């Protein structure tokens, strides 16, 4: 049963600490998205990759956030230093992008709930 795996599921940390969230996309998918969900803003796109190359990270605060795909089986989202306003649920999703359009369903991970004190 293929699924997107995210770790950690929950993270509580203090302001100023580094936080790294990891995502294992579904094997064969070439597109990975990072989203953030808060009560106030709903779901927001932070960044996404196609074939491991970053295509759009305009939704991400560049001074403290960074997203990478060191290989096809791992995507990371790092926050350094973390701030209380970063508290949210961070979702990873993967799919298959063909000729500029997602050719199938999007599959979401279960999310990483981050609390920054």
Site string for other proteins, 81-110 (x = CB under 8 A): --------x-x-x---x--xxx-xxxxx-x
Q: Which of 22, 30, 45, 96 binds other proteins (CB under 8 A)?
A: 45
CA distance 71 to 86: 26
**Closer of 35 and 65 to other proteins (Cβ):** 35
Q: How far is the CB of 89 from other proteins (least distance, A)?
A: 6
Q: Per-residue DSSP letters for 18-59? A: -EEEEEEPPTT--EEEEEEEETTTEEEEEEEEETTEEEE-TT
Contact status: 18 vs other proteins (CB under 8 A): no
Q: What SS3 state is found at 8? A: coil
Asked whether the beta carbons of 82 and 13 are under 8 A apart, the reply is: yes
Q: How far is the CB of 100 from other proteins (least distance, A)?
A: 5
Q: CB atoms < 10 A from the CB of 35, how many?
A: 21
Tell me phi and psi for residue 104, to 5 degrees: -155, -160
Q: How far is the CB of 24 from other proteins (least distance, A)?
A: 16
Provide the binding-site residues for other proteins, judged by CB under 8 A: 33, 35, 42-45, 50, 55-56, 89, 91, 93, 97, 100-102, 104-108, 110-111, 113
């Amino acid at each position: 049963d293929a699924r997107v795996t995210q770790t950690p599921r929950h993270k509580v940390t203090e302001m100023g600490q580094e936080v790294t969230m990891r995502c294992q996309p579904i094997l064969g998918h070439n597109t990975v998205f990072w989203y953030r969900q808060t009560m106030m803003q709903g779901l927001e796109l932070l960044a996404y990759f196609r074939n491991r190359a970053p295509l759009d990270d305009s939704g991400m605060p560049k001074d403290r956030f960074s997203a990478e795909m060191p290989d096809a089986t791992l995507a990371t989202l790092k926050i350094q230093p973390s701030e209380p306003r970063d508290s949210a649920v961070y979702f990873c999703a993967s799919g298959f992008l063909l000729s500029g359009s997602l050719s199938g369903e999007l599959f979401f991970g279960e999310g990483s709930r981050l609390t920054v004190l």
